[in-house]
């Protein structure tokens, strides 16, 4: 049985903004990969005019008669929040009112104005035994299967004892709508009240029922009589169902607007810095990708639209935790039960995106497709795979305003082609502030199992979120302003050039950024440019890109420089290509016209190529004209736009031909270019 205990769990986000310290550690043998950072959370209530909980909703359940004058038993969660209750029995429908409830055992008494109704007897649930045959009656899935009573047969598969009282686990199917129906022995006596079902991956046919003796106690507390005798003879199946069905009712409820229900827009700004360190005593670093330096994570914003029990309606933006752990902000959001039960679970699916040429450590698992990647969709050279998720929760007794939730989590991705199978499992705790309605932190200890053929690799993972409070929180929300940077002068150049040549990645980039930002010193120009040109041969694309940026500040056109930059127009790294094209455009490098023009067919660098060729001017016209023969209409239209700016009479013939093109957009762009060229005559 789903036990009820303590206060209900609700997201309220009172007291935001909040700051969480985030830590992730991944054990990769001799190396610990660490991700450290912070997650800033702010929340506001959404516009209640758009709140779907402001409108009436309908639901169904089951009840059974214990007094002939219209007293019925059902589950508390069936009638909870109902603005209207209707009870259908014996071909008639009656309005119902709630007499009393027992939230702890999920029971309720409902009264209708009726007489001479058939009743069911309450048996002694303490005498029930594991293996005993039972039948569960009710109106499951009434909106789908219709309002005819259904009966399922099974056995008591487990008896759980808590606090001196018992609850039943069943292998009889309990489906939505069965809740509140009678669980009867072979004599037709009620020994339990059906109240929940477990569902999910690897779970099948497991139901729960509250014991009939708890029903007796509830009736006694409200001075209501009930029948216990006269049901001693075992009945055959059809007779038993017919007899019990006479006293079993369909309960229909109308759920009005829930005054507590809220929707929230939660904004998260999070950043993680990644670093690696050798374990104590480790010798040579194991074979693998080059070691990454420590660096400051760039804050990435995300927006989460959610309701009061953690159902996420929409999610956009956000940075990702490593190893399939999902979005940094979403890691704090957990689906809570609408009642105050002790245990619950959630199951579902999600889409993960992985780089086709990346080891599994680079994978992401957005809970909502495209969420972390924005409107641009997937990155290049990636693939999507489907995963299944399962979370099982239990709650402890509250200590002050805090209830600790224990979460057991599993995510599974089946192997597909040459892509390995992935299995993420683990357990963690979430201390939940019941009064203010937010998690005070979260932990997760688990491992990712990577199955590739007959090879299996396990990667241990530890995650912790810690809520900052007091002075730490204030410092995080209002950090002291850093002193203005000291201006870089000629006296700093020897040190900067030495750092720029350094093998230390962080020193190297910092020096290049300073060189790019400082005012050039004419007497030192040749020395600086020579160093920067040498760095264009570096394998690291960050170094090449930043060296190019500095060259844009320091360089003056010369053949050595332009030859070096022209080679980078075809670099395999897109950011290096972009920076090289932009710098050549700023230098009006006519020697680079041909390679830049060829980049007009590159959608990632087309904008930079157009800008550079415009800067060079009419001398670029001859290199652009062959582009008009492209089969890509978008490339042709971009070439027309460019010729509109730099074209001469030499462009007229090919443009006139295009002005008669069967594609109207191409023809229109060609005509516009011709009109502008004519104005310049």
User: Per residue, what are the HEC states of 466-531?
Assistant: EECCHHHHHHHHCCCCCCCCCCCCHHHHHHHHHHHCCCCHHHHHHHHHHHHHCCCCHHHHHHHHHH
- pLDDT at residue 283, rounded to an integer: 55
Which has the higher per-residue pLDDT, 380 or 339?
339
In sequence order, the 6+-apart residues with CB closer than 8 A to the CB of 603 are: 634
Q: Is the backbone peptide bond immediately before 17 cis, with ω within 30 degrees of 0? A: yes
In sequence order, the 6+-apart residues with CB closer than 8 A to the CB of 93 are: 86, 87
Cα–Cα distance between 204 and 53 in angstroms, integer? 31
- pLDDT at residue 279, rounded to an integer: 80
pLDDT, average across residues 588-595: 90
Q: Give helix then strand counts, H and E, for the chain.
A: 17, 24
Residue range 423-432, pLDDT digits in tens: 999 999 999 9
Residue 143 has pLDDT above 70, yes or no: no
In sequence order, the 6+-apart residues with CB closer than 8 A to the CB of 631 are: none
pTM over 0.75: no
Whose CA is closest to 250, among 199, 180, 202?
180
Residue 292 has pLDDT above 90, yes or no: no
- pLDDT at residue 287, rounded to an integer: 39
- pLDDT at residue 202, rounded to an integer: 34
Sequence ranges of the chain with CATH classification 2.40.10.120:
56-255
Residue 258 has pLDDT above 90, yes or no: no
> Which pairing describes strands 343-355 and 248-255: parallel, antiparallel, or unpaired?
unpaired
Whose CA is closest to 224, among 344, 119, 357, 311?
119
- Counted residue by residue, the chain has a size of 681
Sequence ranges of the chain with CATH classification 1.25.10.10:
490-679
Read off the tokens for 206.
Answer: 């497991």
Which has the higher per-residue pLDDT, 204 or 144?
144
Provide the 8-state DSSP code for 347.
E
CB atoms within 10 A of CB 132: 15
Whose CA is closest to 601, among 583, 575, 628, 622?
628
What topology is assigned to 18-42+267-477 in CATH?
Lipovitellin-phosvitin complex; beta-sheet shell regions (2.30.230)
29, 348, 382, 417 from 453: Cα distances, Å: 21, 27, 22, 10
Cα–Cα distance between 488 and 493 in angstroms, integer? 8
Provide the 8-state DSSP code for 416.
B
Whose CA is closest to 295, among 546, 504, 5, 545?
504
Cα–Cα distance between 64 and 193 in angstroms, integer? 9
- pLDDT at residue 353, rounded to an integer: 66
Low-confidence winner among 316-330, 467-481, 515-529, 650-664 (lowest mean pLDDT): 316-330
Contact 149, 139 (CB under 8 A): yes
Residue range 476-497, pLDDT digits in tens: 999 888 888 788 888 999 999 9
Model confidence at 47, in pLDDT bands (50, 70, 90)? low
- pLDDT at residue 354, rounded to an integer: 62
Residue 142 has pLDDT above 60, yes or no: no
Q: Which CATH architecture has domain 490-679?
A: Alpha Horseshoe (1.25)
Whose CA is closest to 367, among 343, 342, 393, 391?
391
Which has the higher per-residue pLDDT, 576 or 118?
118
Cα separation of the two ends of the chain? 88
Rounded-to-10 torsion of CA 245, 247, 252, 255:
-130
Contact 89, 117 (CB under 8 A): yes
Model confidence at 365, in pLDDT bands (50, 70, 90)? very low
Using DSSP's 3-state secondary structure scheme, residue 193 falls into strand
Cα–Cα distance between 338 and 340 in angstroms, integer? 7
Contact 464, 39 (CB under 8 A): no
What CATH number labels 56-255?
2.40.10.120
Residue 379 has pLDDT above 60, yes or no: no
- pLDDT at residue 197, rounded to an integer: 44
Model confidence at 408, in pLDDT bands (50, 70, 90)? very high
Cα–Cα distance between 517 and 429 in angstroms, integer? 47
Alpha helices of 617-663 — where are they, by DSSP H?
621-624, 633-646, 652-658
Whose CA is closest to 331, among 666, 20, 63?
20
- Tokens 């956009």, residue? 316
Read off the tokens for 2.
Answer: 């789903």
357, 383, 414, 446, 545 from 419: Cα distances, Å: 11, 10, 9, 22, 33
In sequence order, the 6+-apart residues with CB closer than 8 A to the CB of 367 are: 312, 315, 326, 327, 330, 350
Average pLDDT, the chain: 82
Contact 61, 180 (CB under 8 A): yes
Provide the 8-state DSSP code for 234.
-
Sequence ranges of the chain with CATH classification 2.30.230:
18-42+267-477
Alpha helices of 43-130 — where are they, by DSSP H?
76-79
Which has the higher per-residue pLDDT, 287 or 635?
635
Contact 61, 179 (CB under 8 A): yes
Read off the tokens for 612.
Answer: 């550079």
């Amino acid at each position: 049985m789903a036990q009820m205990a303590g206060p209900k769990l609700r997201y309220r986000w009172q007291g935001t903004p909040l700051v969480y310290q985030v830590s992730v550690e991944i054990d990769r043998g001799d190396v610990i990969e660490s991700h450290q950072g912070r997650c800033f959370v702010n929340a506001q209530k959404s516009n209640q005019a758009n709140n779907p909980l402001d409108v009436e909703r309908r639901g169904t359940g089951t009840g059974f008669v214990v007094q002939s004058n219209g007293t019925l038993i059902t589950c508390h969660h069936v009638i909870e929040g109902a603005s209207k209750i209707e009870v259908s029995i014996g071909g008639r429908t009656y309005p119902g009112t709630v007499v009393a409830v027992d939230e702890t055992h999920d029971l309720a008494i409902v009264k209708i104005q009726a007489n001479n109704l058939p009743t069911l007897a309450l048996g002694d649930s303490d005498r029930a035994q594991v293996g005993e045959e039972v039948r569960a009656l009710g109106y499951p899935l009434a909106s789908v299967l219709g309002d005819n009573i259904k009966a399922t047969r099974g056995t008591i598969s487990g008896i759980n004892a808590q606090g001196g009282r018992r609850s039943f686990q069943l292998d009889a199917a309990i489906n939505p709508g069965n809740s509140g129906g009678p669980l009867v022995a072979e004599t037709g006596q009620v020994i339990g009240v059906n109240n929940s079902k477990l569902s999910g991956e690897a779970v099948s046919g497991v139901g729960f029922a509250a014991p009939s003796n708890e029903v007796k106690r509830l009736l006694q507390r409200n001075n209501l009589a009930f029948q216990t005798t006269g049901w001693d003879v075992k009945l055959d199946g059809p007779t038993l169902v017919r007899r019990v069905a006479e006293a079993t009712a369909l309960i229909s409820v109308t759920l009005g607007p829930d005054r507590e229900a809220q929707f929230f827009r939660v904004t998260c700004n999070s950043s993680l810095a990644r670093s690696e360190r050798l374990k104590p005593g480790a010798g040579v670093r194991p074979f693998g990708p080059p070691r990454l330096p420590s660096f400051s994570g760039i804050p990435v914003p995300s927006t989460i639209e959610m309701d009061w029990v953690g159902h996420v309606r929409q999610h956009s933006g956000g940075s990702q935790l490593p190893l399939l752990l999902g979005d940094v902000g979403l890691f704090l959001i957990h689906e809570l039960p609408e009642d105050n039960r002790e245990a619950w679970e959630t199951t579902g699916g999600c889409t993960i995106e992985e780089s086709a040429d990346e080891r599994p450590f680079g994978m992401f698992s957005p809970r909502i497709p495209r969420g972390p990647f924005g409107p641009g969709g997937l990155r290049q050279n990636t693939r999507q795979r489907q995963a299944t998720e399962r979370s099982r929760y239990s709650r402890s007794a509250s200590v002050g305003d805090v209830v600790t939730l224990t979460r057991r989590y599993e995510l599974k991705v089946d192997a597909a082609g040459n892509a390995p199978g992935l299995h993420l499992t683990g357990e963690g705790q979430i201390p939940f502030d019941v009064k203010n309605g937010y998690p005070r932190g979260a932990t997760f200890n688990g491992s990712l199992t990577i199955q590739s053929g007959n090879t299996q690799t396990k990667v241990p993972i530890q995650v912790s979120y810690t809520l900052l409070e007091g002075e730490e929180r204030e410092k995080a929300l209002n950090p002291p302003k850093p002193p203005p940077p000291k201006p870089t002068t000629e006296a700093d150049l020897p040190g900067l050039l030495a750092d720029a040549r350094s093998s230390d990645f962080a020193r190297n980039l910092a020096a290049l950024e300073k060189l790019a930002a400082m005012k050039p010193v004419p007497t030192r120009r040749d020395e600086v440019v020579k160093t920067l040109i040498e760095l264009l041969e570096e394998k690291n694309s960050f170094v090449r890109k930043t060296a190019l940026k500095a060259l844009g500040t320091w360089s003056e056109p010369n053949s050595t420089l332009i030859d070096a930059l022209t080679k980078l127009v075809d670099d395999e790294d897109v950011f290096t290509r972009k920076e090289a094209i932009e710098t050549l455009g700023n230098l009006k490098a006519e020697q680079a016209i041909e390679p830049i023009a060829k980049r007009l067919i590159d959608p990632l660098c087309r904008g930079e190529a157009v800008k550079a060729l415009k800067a060079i001017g009419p001398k670029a016209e001859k290199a652009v004209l062959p582009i008009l023969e492209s089969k890509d209409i978008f490339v042709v239209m971009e070439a027309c736009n460019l010729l509109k700016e730099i074209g001469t009479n030499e462009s007229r013939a090919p443009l006139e031909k295009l002005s008669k093109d069967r594609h109207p957009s191409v023809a229109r762009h060609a005509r516009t270019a011709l009109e502008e060229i004519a104005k310049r005559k």
